[in-house]
A and B are shown apart, each in its own frame.
Chain A
């Protein structure tokens, strides 16, 4: 049975609802920061998009109400550290909307995932702010003060597990000597996983990209840890740390910038998963969903052309 959606906006709303569980998990463990970031991001996204639509002389209300800018904003807001200063999210969201989307002609025409383009831009430009995560629950006034630079972030901050593992490995420690587990991150990933399953059931997204994505991670991580289990993260940690589930169900499945053929989606998802593990392991940055997705975005036209489905009455 095929799901019939009344509008593109309805699909976008479904995705936003599905993000709720993951956001609740982030909120539970890291506090109010994420809420402040989301509100800030959404406001900036709507403002930037409206401004650009005005410059481009396009109708503003229909484009804003399709929900795509809001979705981009929320995805970026949950990706960045919840205690990052306010200007990080402002710069990131406006970059995502302007350079990720509007300059290409708006929704449907962007070759790159706008949220991830914004994220990559931020990570390269402000590595310090982008890797300082909240180490504990942050209450509303603390979050407000830290984000708006009224008090220093140091007191609240801590590194992420992936970052920690990297540092430890660099110091020559073995996998068995440290704990690569993070309950908080596992819960956040679980939240996004459940939200993703909801999207699958509602047929907003199709199974190919998330499954191939996760399979790509599992296969690559499995072979790496098989080669040297003392040196590489085990499979389950790759799945439950960082932005894995958010990436698998919400980022890589952005239909505009993803491959659109059923077979192509499998290839696209698998290679993103593979790239994530490779960049996490050998790259300089702690997490790599953004880079993996952006790299694979480039290959989409090629994948789509060579993975056209067999059509009725034609062989091969």
Chain B
């Protein structure tokens, strides 16, 4: 029944553990909560420096349809609202709210919804937005936004593949909170109105599969094990694997009646709807050859250093990466906060980068590209900054999974070139648009000036004619007067 992914790469967890555990990380002394989210504008703080906040209290909000509320993840006092380094590849600073913990973790009074089945879909979607829930798989797409488009969907896909090697936070979540996950899926079913839900798990996580199986008594929900292969968890590829349906390039899963949610998001929805807890913590995997791999339940905004210190790091020089070893981003320092999308922290020994050689167009990259692109051709055009040409080779459809990077015998950082070419293309299109507008404006101005000139010339010509006519008329008049004078003179002379 299943269609194994044609391409992609089979990768095993490089840092396996005997038993997948979740360690409750102790409360941090302070948390740093960024106001900027993955999509949409920056949230506006509704607290000021010096304010006392309770755990779960809304501290920033926006009117932006894409954004969700931001909550205090500990109780204490707001000590700063300023620019801080956030875990992003640019290493840029962004506006954050810093809360100093009072060590008590006092919760704000929570509103109870009772039985969710009696709530309307709109109420629940709004509640999810208010609870600050975004996709916890890594991309961070706002959940409410996806759900509000899911009205006509027939199938709910719960992405529990966790295909990035090394990450095990979803595995841990499913093993330790199977009841909550299944209940969350039921809520999602209720909201989306989908007829069935499929929970897809990679077959290298049999314990997670078993524990969900044990707690799943809903015949609308089924569990499927899919072969372990990297990029199987990419939304469109997962749908292809499960149902042999291809979501068109540029389209969304909802176009074909599928709505996809991450398994951790489902648990967060359970917490929000049943327990009335907003999203203030998540499970984070800390792994790599510089630490003892483990999972931690940790409050959002806790610094990386706080939980890395719990994972017994060795004394060597480390390279820190947030997210998967494939699609994650390197961060410069451990002094960045854990965000909603921080599913994993890699702490690896710093290694020399492999020597980059020339592309010999061997085509190994094309063999693994899950989209079927020709990275060797894209690279050729991206390198020479012919972004338009690269777009002709479907650069737009690259999901930046980095399979090509991994197999490239020349160690070319292909995806880095591709994201650069994409950015360049957008910049050029924007600039072209700008110059087009400017040129049009200029051409119109030229046309207008020319037209005015012509109109004036015509008017002048007309006036001239009229004037001439008038002058001619005048001449007739003058002649008449002259004649009259002459006549008078004549008669006078005659009289004399």
Contact = CB atoms under 8 A, between A and B. Distances in A.
Interface of A: 1-11, 62, 66, 68, 106-109, 203-204, 206, 255-256, 258, 260-262, 304, 308-314
B372 interface: yes
A206 B363 contact: yes
Given A8-B410, A255-B362, A312 B246 contact: yes
B88 interface: no
Given A206-B363, A255-B363, A311-B249, A108 B358 contact: yes
A10 B361 contact: no
B168 to A, nearest CB: 23
A258 B366 CA distance: 15
Given A62-B355, A311-B372, A312-B370, A1 B10 contact: yes
A291 to B, nearest CB: 22
A313 B249 CA distance: 4
22 contacts: A1-B10, A2-B9, A2-B368, A4-B364, A11-B360, A11-B362, A106-B358, A107-B357, A204-B362, A260-B363, A260-B374, A262-B366, A304-B377, A308-B393, A308-B394, A310-B372, A312-B237, A312-B240, A312-B370, A312-B397, A313-B250, A314-B397
B360 A255 contact: yes
B376 A260 contact: yes
A263 to B, nearest CB: 11
B410 A314 contact: no
Given A2-B407, A262-B366, A312-B236, A8 B360 contact: yes
Secondary structure call for the A interface: loop
B140 interface: no
Contacts of A6: 409
Interface in B353-388: 354-355, 357-364, 366-368, 370-374, 376-377
Given A4-B364, A8-B410, 18 more contacts: A2-B367, A2-B368, A6-B409, A66-B358, A68-B360, A108-B358, A255-B363, A260-B376, A260-B377, A261-B366, A304-B374, A308-B393, A308-B394, A311-B371, A312-B371, A313-B247, A313-B248, A313-B251
Chain B CB within 10 A, most for which of A304, A309, A311: A311
Given A66-B357, A107-B360, A5 B372 contact: no
B360 A313 contact: no
Contact of A2 (B355, B357, B362, B364): B364
Contact of B411 (A7, A11, A106, A260): A7
Contacts of A310: 372
Contact of A4 (B360, B376, B406, B410): B406
A24 to B, nearest CB: 26
Contacts of B10: 1
Contacts of B363: 206, 255, 260
A255 B380 CA distance: 14
A8 B357 contact: yes
Chain B CB within 10 A, most for which of A3, A66, A68, A108: A108
Interface of B: 9-10, 236-237, 240, 246-251, 354-355, 357-364, 366-368, 370-374, 376-377, 393-394, 397, 406-407, 409-411
A47 B10 CA distance: 42
A244 B358 CA distance: 29
A261 to B, nearest CB: 6
Chain A CB within 10 A, most for which of B237, B358, B368: B358
B361 A255 contact: yes
Given A2-B368, A108-B361, A109-B358, A311 B407 contact: no
A208 to B, nearest CB: 10
Nearest to B6: A312
Contacts of B240: 312
Chain A CB within 10 A, most for which of B362, B377, B397: B362
A308 B372 CA distance: 9
B357 A7 contact: yes
Instruction: Please provide the 6 A-B residue pairs with the shortest distance between their CB atoms, ordered closest to farther.
Output: A108-B358, A313-B249, A5-B409, A312-B371, A311-B372, A255-B362
A203 B354 CA distance: 22
A143 to B, nearest CB: 33
Nearest to A311: B372
Contacts of B360: 8, 11, 68, 107-108, 255-256
A260 B363 CA distance: 6
Given A11-B362, A106-B358, A260-B366, A312 B372 contact: yes
Contacts of B371: 311-313
A137 B359 CA distance: 41
Contacts of B372: 309-312
Contacts of A262: 366
Nearest to B362: A255
A311 B397 contact: yes
Contacts of B377: 260-261, 304, 308
Contacts of A312: 236-237, 240, 246, 249, 370-372, 397
A4 B407 contact: yes
A5 B363 CA distance: 12
B409 A11 contact: yes
Nearest to A253: B362
A6 B355 CA distance: 10
Contacts of A9: 357
Contacts of B9: 2
B357 A62 contact: yes
Contacts of A311: 249, 371-373, 394, 397
A133 to B, nearest CB: 32
Contacts of B246: 312-313
A258 B79 CA distance: 63
A8 B361 CA distance: 11
Given A5-B409, A62-B355, A304-B377, A260 B361 contact: yes
B144 to A, nearest CB: 26
A9 B358 CA distance: 11
A309 to B, nearest CB: 5
Given A5-B364, A7-B357, A108-B358, A309 B374 contact: yes
A9 B360 CA distance: 11
A11 B411 CA distance: 13
Contacts of A8: 357-358, 360, 362, 409-410
